Structure 1
Amino acid sequence: MPSRAYGDELLLYPSQHRVGSTDDTRPRASIKRNPSDFVVHEVDVRGEKVQFEASDLADQPCPVKKEEHKHLSKESITQLAHLVLSEFLDEQGLEDFSSFYDALASHAPRGTREKSLLVTSRVHLEKVGRTRFHCSIREHFPLTSSETAQSNDGMPTFKIHPTTKRDIHRLEAKERPAYTHFTLRKENIDTAHALSVISRVLHVPPKAFTFAGAKDKHAITFQRVSAKGIAWSRIASVNNSSKIQVSHPTDEMVPLFLGDLTGNNFTIVLREVSHWGSHEDEKVRSIEVDGFINYYGPQRFGTSSCATHTIGTAVVNGEFSVALAMLLGSRAEFSAEFTAATDGLSFQDLQDNMADDLCAVTARYRSAYEACPRKLTVEKSILGILAEQPRNYQAAWFRIPRNTRRLYTHALQSIVWNEMVSARLEAYGTCVVVGDVVQCTGSPDKSAGEDSNGRRPDASTSDFQIVTEENLHTFAMLDVVMPLPGSDTTLLYPTHGCGKEAYRAKLTAFRAERLFEDVEEPGGYRAVMAKPSQMSHRVIPSETDSELLSVELSFSLRKGCYATALLREIVSVQ
């Protein structure tokens, strides 16, 4: 199959339909020539644009500071010990502790000082009192740590010893919040890959990080990320790369979940624009007022020779060997390391590999698994299963993380939705008609049909209804939704010519009728039209070619909407 261009409109928008257009007089333009031409700021659940400051990149100091105690005099240590610990220790205990701490603060040679010190409380202490003693040691004498050695009749004996790195890490783990949220700035790298890099640097599993929505790869993007149980002082250590930077830490008690955002703000520079005049100015204004067709953009379907929805078709039909062959083959197109690791394996159909001796095939899978870099987590997990069970393609497929493998069936739903919306617009135009499905209650985000990972929103059937002659004039085109096909039998389908039977015929054309039976994909709704906010544009004359222009567009879209779908209303992307 020949490779597809990034903006292949024939695949994505079969009818070439655009709002208010019957001919194609759009200017030709190029996008994403440089990552800085496509800048995306996430908009959080409070409606605020995610911020990033380069001045905030400096690492923060560790919470336990020792330096200020390394030059204290014996007299100062004794005074501090009497002030802080006199309620716990008698005079002898205070003297012993002061001498022990002074030896640490003055860097006395290890052979001349005790490794630890035992002191006994002069008063009866329950657990709360013992905890107060440990907190006093930790707060005022950071060169030492303490623990309860034994407790006889409520008179505890404490063991004092020099603070180690292990003590510091344990203390940080106890005192740090459950989650650290931070802003991730990434350039020319996708969200999953960026977090994979961070997890390798910090030696933590990738699942320690969560985010509200994936962002474009070929762009500069800013988004919030949550890290479970990782101190900001460690996270900030990744700021040695121009591709990945972090800032703006906050302590939170809950993680980020997919869909925890309002939308995204875009600043896009169109390059080599063939022409721009009053007609294009008016088109931009009309989109801000009337909206644009809410197609799924090309990111949904991948950029390799094997579109992601074709993999989804194989999965829906239970053809796991075919799905794996297409997935691994598409990965090989972009990774020289993976290509080298899998040399000798056929990706036309994994079952072709079974024509050889089973032991030989197993050995090739094992060799490929061992040669596959750890950073290629999905590929390596697949090869790991095939190295143990060469014919168990289903087990290999389900080794892929659930959210990742669902992207392929979501892509299948999306391409069907795109085609059905084109059919609906061809048949009935951009006016509400009897038989349409509309959203009558709830927030506009629900009619987007899904969160950033394709899940159906928390909307009941009562939030949607069929347009009738009686209520036809109470709805606008922005209220119209089309269903994403799935197994949910309560989904409403239009009662006109683009109803459930039309969906069934389209799924049959894609060999995907079983999508109606896939319990993992219930389906949902998505608005036919989307409306941007805060939209503006300016023309930038070219410095090198007087006949070509650059145009900067700025706008915000709610979650689930694609900037590329808006752009195609204005320009023909080359």
Structure 2
Amino acid sequence: MKGFPDSGMDGLLLFWVSDHIGFRGTIKNSASDFVVTEIDVHGQLVSDVGADCSQNSCNIECEQEMSHPSLSKRLKKQEQALENIPELQNVDKSNNAKIECSSINQTADSNLSEFASSSPSVEAAERLGDTLDLFLGTTVAEMLEDFAFSAKEHKPAVGQGTEEEATFLLGTFPEKSQRAAIHMAVRRKFPFLKTVTNSAEIQARLDPQYLELCQLVTEEEANGFFCFLDSKDRNSKFTFQPDNNKDHRKAVHHLVSKYFGKLVETKSFSEQGGDGHQGAVITVRFRDKATSGRKRHANDCQSVPATYTAFTLCKVNMETLEAVAYLASELGVMPSDFSYAGIKDKKAVTSQTMIVKNVTMNRLKAKQLSLQSKGLRVYNLRPATQHLRVGQLKGNHFSIVIRNISKHQEDDPAASLTDRVFEAIEKVKEKGFVNYYGPQRFGLGQNVQADQIGLALLKEKLVKAVHLFFTPEEGNDPVNKAKRHFIQTEDVKGTLALMPEYKTRERLVLRALNRYGNNQEGCTRAWFSLPHSMRVLYIHSYCSKIWNKAATFRLETYGLKVVEGDLVTCDNLDWDLSHQNNAQVHIVTTEDLKSNIYSINQVVLPMPGNNIQYPCNKLALWYQEALARDGLKLCKFRIPALQLNIPGCYRRLLAQPQQLVFQWLESKEAPFTEEDCGLVTGESSTRDTLSVSFSLNSSCYATVCLREIMKCSV
């Protein structure tokens, strides 16, 4: 075992498990040189799991959802409500079921149709106007119509005029069913009016919120929005017209949040307009019902369950969060509606399982072609019952092309390159490698890396963390220009205009800063605007750096042998420990050493957190001193302001690749065997490209495995 100082991991001295010489080469010359396929919890490649539903199975999906007792009960209540209105007795109630069924699989851009799906048919809506004549009398109904349009033409500003001047008395109605019918009829016929009941007396007046919204959007949009609110259909969404004016979109966001923020939430999505210009649309959806500690009522248990659709996502040269942003925009849902087991490499071709909430298979299938044009392939669609957890996978399979293969400069000139490659592969296959976190865990930045941001967050220095987040690197590309502008001017709005659309995280933070300011509270909200998995990733990055240094100290101090006080695990060696508890960790005793029952492959080191146990040897003091040096001596690894709790976990000191094979790309033979090595000489001039494939457990890094094989930075 020996160190190699040029590690590229913050100057960290790496240690090798094997003593082979290795070789040089380059990886990731292109995305296709680095192919990553997720392995699910059952040990299957996600590219092989499931299959797209047949057209027939998708066609009956609507009928299956309609057969759900909760949904049927809701439709029955709608029919009973119509039956309370004598004038609507003859309306064809089966039409409601047809419309309701069609609403289940429609796309998000059919917002007015979505509202119609949860309300009576067009014929019934027209008859609702007759309901006004029925309950109010023809004279009062006509007076209401005159009042409505007269008031609408004047459109008094909010706060102007007396309440009496803008109020029309409809009458007194002792029966609740009558009042309900009148409220519904008035709202449908005159969306700009609102009705109020006071001791069985109904009054109508101009809706100031409607009028204020009409100052920002068209009446058609305002009508559609209020119809969407009236529908109370939590599976529906409403989308305003495309808008290129950011200030105008901000005003719409603020207005909706001001009056309806407890009921709905808004999100802007990029959209390509018909004229080729990039615009944005605001999508509104109902908030999820907040859960409380109170006992649930029986009615709560009968609500229509959320729809979950699982699929395999193949992306090329794209960050996971960027891919999620594209998917959310296409489907008209929020990025938080997507879940996945882990974030994959950017410069690679990656396949992984994702699950999206409240999107049916039909709807996702309809978007496959448009998503493919953005470099995203969506296939293997199948139903699911719940979201994925981060880490809910067995591992990943890697197919990697290493180019420009050559021997190390200090190597023996007479040595065979094929011998060096074969020796390296066999040694790592036998002994494994030190399970370091790879450089991508910390980011590629030279000035600031993710672990520095994580340390600032752990210290709850959230303003400093934001400045670290926007610290530019060398170069004059658009991203660094935008970051440099922010650091020099703290002009959030200007930075947002400069920041490219694909920088999802940066734009989320900037939007929050633009809304809430650059102070401590604003920066807190900015960090909170990121998904939980992203917020916690910065903390994990810092903890990973501590783990890497602890691993080096452990190997320097004790070598590749089990010592007293080590932490070991007795579970299945093929499984990852990231989500397992302390009960599965054992402290090695003197008796254990005498019995020689544990191997170095069972030794684990803790990731810092508030629910882990440290080794009972020199490592315990090392962890204390390392955290103290970073100002975390009293850190509880909880950040209440960001809703972050870091319990910690355990990670194996060594990792073992499975199914490790290699092949020269020029050779059409099977992967090299030991006999092949003696048949080829002087091959370095003709064979300089190598294909390597292997599988690793969850949270293990292919680049670290390659470092051990090649004995150099990759």
Q: Specify if TM > 0.5.
A: yes
**Equivalent position amino acid for 1:327 in 2:** F
**Equivalent position amino acid for 1:260 in 2:** Q
**Secondary structure in 2 matching 1:9:** coil
Q: CA deviation at 1:176?
A: 10
Partner of 2:129: none
Instruction: Write the distance in 2 (CA, Å) between the matches of 1:334 and 1:203.
Output: 34
Segments of structure 2 that go 5 or more residues without pairing to the other structure are 62-67, 107-234, 236-302, 408-416, 640-644, 669-682
- In the alignment, structure 1 residue 50 sits paired with structure 2 residue 18: no
Instruction: Write the distance in 2 (CA, Å) between the matches of 1:316 and 1:266.
Output: 34
Q: Contact between 1:28 and 1:273, CA under 8 Å: does it hold in 2?
A: yes
**Equivalent position amino acid for 1:308 in 2:** A
**Equivalent position amino acid for 1:320 in 2:** L
Instruction: Write the distance in 1 (CA, Å) between the matches of 2:558 and 2:30.
Output: 39
Q: CA deviation at 1:281?
A: 1.4
**Equivalent position amino acid for 1:321 in 2:** V
Partner of 2:37: 41
- In the alignment, structure 1 residue 200 sits paired with structure 2 residue 329: yes
- Give the direction of change, closer, same or farther, for the CA distance of 1:228–1:131 in structure 2 (3 Å limit): closer
- In the alignment, structure 1 residue 390 sits paired with structure 2 residue 390: no
Partner of 1:92: none
Instruction: Write the distance in 2 (CA, Å) between the matches of 1:164 and 1:150.
Output: 18
Q: Contact between 1:297 and 1:565, CA under 8 Å: does it hold in 2?
A: yes
Q: Contact between 2:18 and 2:427, CA under 8 Å: does it hold in 1?
A: no
- Give the direction of change, closer, same or farther, for the CA distance of 1:175–1:525 in structure 2 (3 Å limit): closer
- In the alignment, structure 1 residue 484 sits paired with structure 2 residue 607: yes
Partner of 2:341: 212
Instruction: Write the distance in 1 (CA, Å) between the matches of 2:543 and 2:460.
Output: 16
- In the alignment, structure 1 residue 418 sits paired with structure 2 residue 568: no
Q: 2:92 aligns with which of 158, 172, 175?
A: 158
Partner of 2:18: 20
Instruction: Write the distance in 2 (CA, Å) between the matches of 1:164 and 1:412.
Output: 55
Segments of structure 1 that go 5 or more residues without pairing to the other structure are 1-6, 66-126, 136-144, 348-352, 354-360, 451-456
- In the alignment, structure 1 residue 267 sits paired with structure 2 residue 399: yes
Q: CA deviation at 1:334?
A: 9.3
- Give the direction of change, closer, same or farther, for the CA distance of 1:332–1:573 in structure 2 (3 Å limit): closer
Partner of 1:573: 713
Q: Contact between 1:12 and 1:297, CA under 8 Å: does it hold in 2?
A: no
Instruction: Write the distance in 1 (CA, Å) between the matches of 2:359 and 2:475.
Output: 35
Partner of 1:356: none
- Give the direction of change, closer, same or farther, for the CA distance of 1:566–1:288 in structure 2 (3 Å limit): same
Partner of 2:581: 459
Instruction: Write the distance in 2 (CA, Å) between the matches of 1:368 and 1:437.
Output: 48
| Identity within the alignment, % | 28
**Equivalent position amino acid for 2:342 in 1:** G
Partner of 2:459: 317
Q: CA deviation at 1:465?
A: 1.9
**Secondary structure in 2 matching 1:470:** helix
- In the alignment, structure 1 residue 302 sits paired with structure 2 residue 302: no
Instruction: Write the distance in 2 (CA, Å) between the matches of 1:468 and 1:343.
Output: 55
Q: CA deviation at 1:183?
A: 0.8
- Give the direction of change, closer, same or farther, for the CA distance of 1:397–1:254 in structure 2 (3 Å limit): closer
- In the alignment, structure 1 residue 365 sits paired with structure 2 residue 492: yes
- In the alignment, structure 1 residue 170 sits paired with structure 2 residue 312: no
Q: CA deviation at 1:380?
A: 3.1
- Give the direction of change, closer, same or farther, for the CA distance of 1:330–1:408 in structure 2 (3 Å limit): farther
Q: Deviations over 1:347-381 (max 9, x none)?
A: 6xxxxx5xxxxxxx6xx334444665665443233
TM-score by length of 2: 0.58
Instruction: Write the distance in 2 (CA, Å) between the matches of 1:12 and 1:529.
Output: 20
Aligned length: 467
Q: Contact between 2:428 and 2:709, CA under 8 Å: does it hold in 1?
A: no
- Give the direction of change, closer, same or farther, for the CA distance of 1:182–1:147 in structure 2 (3 Å limit): farther
Supply the RMSD in Å over aligned alpha carbons: 4.0
Instruction: Write the distance in 1 (CA, Å) between the matches of 2:40 and 2:637.
Output: 35
Partner of 1:107: none
Q: 1:433-472, aligned counterparts within 5 Å?
A: 433-440=563-570, 442-444=571-573, 448-450=576-578, 457-460=579-582, 462-472=583-593
**Secondary structure in 2 matching 1:310:** helix
Q: CA deviation at 1:214?
A: 1.3
Q: Contact between 1:533 and 1:556, CA under 8 Å: does it hold in 2?
A: yes
- Give the direction of change, closer, same or farther, for the CA distance of 1:564–1:57 in structure 2 (3 Å limit): farther
- Give the direction of change, closer, same or farther, for the CA distance of 1:277–1:343 in structure 2 (3 Å limit): closer
- Give the direction of change, closer, same or farther, for the CA distance of 1:158–1:327 in structure 2 (3 Å limit): same
Partner of 2:422: 281
Partner of 1:503: 623
Partner of 2:379: 247
Q: Contact between 1:12 and 1:418, CA under 8 Å: does it hold in 2?
A: no
Q: 1:122-133, aligned counterparts within 5 Å?
A: none
Q: CA deviation at 1:570?
A: 1.0
Q: Contact between 1:30 and 1:573, CA under 8 Å: does it hold in 2?
A: no
Partner of 1:358: none
Q: 1:134-145, aligned counterparts within 5 Å?
A: none
Partner of 2:535: 405
Q: Deviations over 1:14-55 (max 9, x none)?
A: 22310133xx832111011111111111111111111269x9
- Give the direction of change, closer, same or farther, for the CA distance of 1:517–1:258 in structure 2 (3 Å limit): closer
Partner of 1:379: 506
- In the alignment, structure 1 residue 551 sits paired with structure 2 residue 696: no
Instruction: Write the distance in 2 (CA, Å) between the matches of 1:374 and 1:146.
Output: 47
- Give the direction of change, closer, same or farther, for the CA distance of 1:424–1:324 in structure 2 (3 Å limit): same
Q: Contact between 2:544 and 2:607, CA under 8 Å: does it hold in 1?
A: yes
Instruction: Write the distance in 2 (CA, Å) between the matches of 1:299 and 1:330.
Output: 18
The structure 1 segments of at least 4 consecutive aligned residues displaced by more than 6 Å after TM superposition are: 55-62, 145-148, 162-166, 171-177, 331-335, 542-545
